[in-house]
Amino acid sequence: LLVVPVPPLPSSLMSSKQKPQQPQQHKTAGARSSPRNLQKLDIRSVNSPSSGTLSPNNLSILSPDSPKPINKKAKKSACPCGRSSNGRDWLVVCSESGCKQHWHTSCGNLKGANSLTQPQVDNLTKQWLCPWCYTVPFVKPGNHSSALNEVSLIEKALSSAAYQNLTDSVVDALKSCPPAPVDLSSMESRLEQLTKEIQNFKRSSLLCFPQTEIPSKQFGTTVHEKRVLNCKEKPYDYYKEEFLGKNDLSCVIDLLGYLKDSASFVPENGHEVKLYGEPYSYTGSQASEPEAIPPELNKVIDQLCSELSLPEAERPNSILINYFPANNGLDVNNTHLAMHSDDESCILADSKIITLSIGASRTIAFETKHSDATCKEELTVRNNSVYTMSRKSQSWYRHGVPPPPPGAVTDERFSITFRCLKKQFSRSVLLIGDSNTKEVIFGSGPAKVGQSFPGKRIRAAKVENIEPKDCTGYSNIFIMCGTNDLRCEYISSDHDIHCIVDTLKEKLIQVKQLCPRAKVFCVPVMPSRIPEMNYNISLYNGLVDEMLYVNFPDIWFDGIYNFVDNSGLLDSSASMGDGTLLIWMRHFKKYGEIKKAYEKCEESYDAVLKVGGGQVWEEAYKAVGNDYHLVGGGGLTVSAAGGWLMGGGLSASSRLYGMGIDQVIEFEVITADGSKVTASKCENDDLFWALRGGGGGSFGVTTSVHYKLHATKPFCEMSFVVSDFKEPNYDTKTVFKWINLLVDSAPTLDTKWGGYWTLASGIFYYQGTEEETKDSEFYKKINNLGNISWESFRCGESYFAARGGPDNMGTDQTSQKEFNIASRLIPMDFVQNQPDKMKGILIWMIYNGYFTFNYIIGGKMMDVATDATAVHPAMRQSVFQIETFDERLIQKLREELPDSGAGFNHAAKNEPDWENQFWGSNRERLETLKKKWDPDNRFNCWHCVGYLQGNDSTTGRGYTLSLSILLNLLVFIAVFLRNY
């Protein structure tokens, strides 16, 4: 291509005072009539991926080492769209055309850019098209300052074309001159002639507009001094009758009849609509999710493409059918379409908006949009005709279908409008992942991800390789990484896995910033053949699920996973047995409804809450708010119907209302034979008994629970620290005073008190107002300890208000492996009868590891008979549950109190004699019921009732057993799913 050094132009050649801003930088020669042509070169010749992004070479960012946003003054209307982003516009230079643009951050869908760093933006914008050349987001001209930009764009198009012609002519003239000396007079006359040509050219391109002067300074800038509104676009540019052949026409008419009969049209103002293909949304649009384009209409698109010679890139991908009902001449207002422009930025800038009319002849009205131009035009469209409008013309004209004249009778008409929506906005699927992703086939049917929308797969071997900017422009983003990160050679401790989850979180934050409207899926890592790796995988999946739940409630964590691998399965950990399948309950049906005056088993309850099997406490607490008191767990991310409950369910309000299991009215359970049963006092009462304390998921899959609700009462929370053991000179004297106080008070403590304590601190709750709390014995005694520090004292109208509301409650950390939790129940009579021995044990603990976190229990928990529920009878007879993460401390308690039992939910993973320590005298009945309700042992979990050790070489039962359990479970799951 020829690169032309451009001589300065004589000012007489400029038609008005304005100059093209950077004509010198238009290096590429050739007949360019408009910047659109530049763009054509850019977009169409680059093999752009299906995301529609461009190769980075097309753009370079100016001054990459000066991340500062454009200075405040320049920012105002710097972006071609006329909007600004608070001084954070980016200066982008298009290397093809050399144009420079201040680009406001919302252009190109860069929502949330304000929180991006400059390097991120640099990186990102490299992939985008220069707005000057391509995606100028036109806003309504005429009433918005961006009108000026649009005018200036069109004008630039003209002047730069003229300029280019001129340059070419000058070059020709030079070439035709003898080498030396140069005869300037011939050049001058040639230039004069060219000037006239340019002026004629400009005049000839005026279709309808009067020359309009736009006052200078109106837009706060002196660059645009005098403007001439020139439009070379026509209101419509094609009209043809008898468009479809006979057969195709009948097919389309059939389809329209079907849509009408099936009530598929949605009413809008004056007509009804139906959408197909890419979702087209416009002001006032009512149409719901579009369906895939049906074959009849795809055929019409084929014909349109060939007759109108549409390039592949402009092939219509979105269809809006307008149905204009017939009228009887009386009411003309039921059949019209108000004047408007199809100027949404999602419509491809160079594309055609094509309309096929079926049915009655109607008039299409066109008028100019600029207030000082009053041109109007009409087109009568007949049955089976097509007319087209350019997207560009929408910036200049309005169109509409006026109501028929008063008294006129009209038959029904359908207009099928075809548009090409920009690829950036297209609905598509991106799958980022490791080599596993090649196996994945996702979606079926038009409404699901995958099948009907083109997808793209990007390799990211590890989480750190995920490139958030790859996600821009996609509607559905699947992330399937992690397997490689979790290989044993990379993981030396759980901490490493936490770090991977943190990296994933960072990546997701960026993905959400860049693609706020995209639906993001995070796919759990599938189990591996390597058993040790499965530990990493199960921990990772759990952490990711929790991280998503807390940080990204709208990111989906399911979909493409399959927990069955040919040989290896999820490794055992607290809730997973060897060789078992895990049923992921998180996304199961949710309820959260409060039922008033609820009757069950001839008892009535003022209010109950139904929670689904996969719901967590946060959801339950939010459902209840401050309206009722719900006895629940402290960790918001803990399941409200799962393990917490099956293991008994301790709460800081259990001394006042009993345990979690004491609140249950009924369970809905899928039992091992796949049937759905209710278990309550009067239905399957033995199962009801077993589920309340039998622990784990060993009797069935709980799919819902009805909890009793209590009236709200005021509560206070107080937390204090007696001394900090981490300090070298901690205050032993006050610590001993605290232990004395605790051991002496606990057995007879008012049931209005409940909560947690350690050897040197406490978090307690009191049912009462601030005054009542401060007036209570226990509070006064604590306050009198002297040298303590109060961490908090908060009172509220309810227990949850006193806890600071759900938002202030924690997530459960204790499931993490490094905590290695263990628990022991401390009998009431031991503390009552041998308080000094109890104090001695606690003091021994101070010097041998000190870290515990304990419950004070008893109170109303003791009102329930020891065999009325399945929990260890000790739960009903104890005053403390001591929890520690230090094996020595728990071993001491086991030695001192060998039969006192362990709190199931906080028990050691390897608790010796676990069957007896978990259920005591209730164990036998549980084992009998296990045989009744799950004879084939389909539900097998680690140290649960009926626990069967599977894939364990020391037992000799080995792998065949796992396989039979697996088959059993597959049968169960098939039945389970059928029931759901």
Query: What is the contact surface with Fe ion in residues (CB under 5 A)?
Result: 342
Q: Can you tell me which of 401, 497, 690, 722 binds ligand AKG, judged by CB under 6 A?
A: 401
Query: Is 680 among the residues that bind ligand AKG (CB under 6 A)?
Result: no
Least distance from ligand AKG to the Cβ atom of residue 564, Å: 50
Per the CB < 8 A criterion, the answer to whether 592 and 623 are in contact is: yes
Rounded to the nearest 5 degrees, what angle is found at the Cα of 871, between the Cα atoms of 870 and 872? Answer: 120
Among Fe ion, ligand AKG, none, partner that 471 touches (CB below 5 to 8 angstroms by kind) = none
Least distance from ligand AKG to the Cβ atom of residue 164, Å: 35
How is residue 749 written in tokens? 């403590």
Per the CB < 8 A criterion, the answer to whether 399 and 364 are in contact is: yes
Dist CA 769 CA 213 (whole Å): 74
Residue 402-421 contact track with ligand AKG, rule CB under 6 A, x = bound? -------------x-x----
Least distance from ligand AKG to the Cβ atom of residue 111, Å: 26
Among ligand AKG, Fe ion, none, partner that 255 touches (CB below 5 to 8 angstroms by kind) = none
Least distance from ligand AKG to the Cβ atom of residue 424, Å: 21
Whichever of 392 and 629 has its CB closer to Fe ion, that residue is 392
Among Fe ion, ligand AKG, none, partner that 401 touches (CB below 5 to 8 angstroms by kind) = ligand AKG
Least distance from ligand AKG to the Cβ atom of residue 387, Å: 7
Residue 290-329 contact track with ligand AKG, rule CB under 6 A, x = bound? ------------------------------x-x-------
Residue nearest to ligand AKG (CB): 415
Amino acid at the residue 519 = K
Maximum CA extent, the chain: 124
Among ligand AKG, Fe ion, none, partner that 415 touches (CB below 5 to 8 angstroms by kind) = ligand AKG
Whichever of 395 and 884 has its CB closer to ligand AKG, that residue is 395
Per the CB < 8 A criterion, the answer to whether 401 and 363 are in contact is: yes
Least distance from ligand AKG to the Cβ atom of residue 415, Å: 3
With a CB cutoff of 8 Å and minimum separation 6, the contacts of 398 are 339, 340, 341, 366, 367, 368, 369
Whichever of 320 and 672 has its CB closer to ligand AKG, that residue is 320
DSSP assignments along 828-867, one per residue? HHHHHH-HHHHHHHHHHHHHTT--B-EEE--GGGGGS-TT
Return the H-helix or E-strand segment holding 794: strand 789-796
Phi, psi of 822 (to 5 degrees): -150, 155
Whichever of 174 and 326 has its CB closer to ligand AKG, that residue is 326
Per the CB < 8 A criterion, the answer to whether 402 and 336 are in contact is: yes
Whichever of 342 and 927 has its CB closer to Fe ion, that residue is 342
How is residue 752 written in tokens? 């209005």
Can you say whether the dihedral through the CA atoms of 421, 427, 432, 438 is positive or negative? negative
Least distance from ligand AKG to the Cβ atom of residue 191, Å: 46
Q: Can you tell me which of 399, 427, 706, 803 binds ligand AKG, judged by CB under 6 A?
A: 399
- Running DSSP on this structure, what letter comes out for residue 725? T
Q: How many other C-beta atoms lie within 10 A of the C-beta of residue 680?
A: 18
Residue 494-533 contact track with ligand AKG, rule CB under 6 A, x = bound? ----------------------------------------
Whichever of 127 and 417 has its CB closer to ligand AKG, that residue is 417
Per the CB < 8 A criterion, the answer to whether 115 and 143 are in contact is: no
Whichever of 365 and 971 has its CB closer to ligand AKG, that residue is 365
Among Fe ion, ligand AKG, none, partner that 364 touches (CB below 5 to 8 angstroms by kind) = ligand AKG
Least distance from ligand AKG to the Cβ atom of residue 395, Å: 15
Judged by CB under 6 A, the chain residues 356 through 385 that form the site for ligand AKG are: 364
Whichever of 349 and 631 has its CB closer to ligand AKG, that residue is 349
Least distance from Fe ion to the Cβ atom of residue 150, Å: 19
Whichever of 364 and 548 has its CB closer to ligand AKG, that residue is 364
DSSP assignments along 954-970, one per residue? TTS-HHHHHHHHHHHHH
3-state SS track over 338-383: EEECCCCCCECCCCEEEEEEEECCEEEEEEECCCCCCCEEEEEECC
Whichever of 337 and 640 has its CB closer to ligand AKG, that residue is 337
DSSP assignments along 508-534, one per residue? HHHHHHH-TTSEEEEPPPPP-SSHHHH
Q: Could you tell me how many residues of this chain bind ligand AKG (CB under 6 A)?
A: 10
Note the residue count of the chain.
980
Among Fe ion, ligand AKG, none, partner that 355 touches (CB below 5 to 8 angstroms by kind) = ligand AKG
Among Fe ion, ligand AKG, none, partner that 322 touches (CB below 5 to 8 angstroms by kind) = ligand AKG
Alpha helices in 730-790 (DSSP H): 732-745, 770-775, 777-783
Least distance from ligand AKG to the Cβ atom of residue 468, Å: 36
Judged by CB under 6 A, the chain residues 337 through 356 that form the site for ligand AKG are: 337, 342, 355
Judged by CB under 6 A, the chain residues 827 through 846 that form the site for ligand AKG are: none
Give, rounded to a whole angstrom, the gap between the first and last alpha carbons of the chain. 67
DSSP assignments along 891-906, one per residue? HHHHHHSTTS---GGG
Per the CB < 8 A criterion, the answer to whether 295 and 390 are in contact is: no
Whichever of 414 and 764 has its CB closer to ligand AKG, that residue is 414
Least distance from ligand AKG to the Cβ atom of residue 680, Å: 58
Dist CA 399 CA 388 (whole Å): 12
Least distance from ligand AKG to the Cβ atom of residue 223, Å: 35
Whichever of 168 and 411 has its CB closer to ligand AKG, that residue is 411
Least distance from Fe ion to the Cβ atom of residue 340, Å: 6
- Running DSSP on this structure, what letter comes out for residue 937? -
Binding site for ligand AKG (CB under 6 A): 320, 322, 337, 342, 355, 364, 399, 401, 415, 417
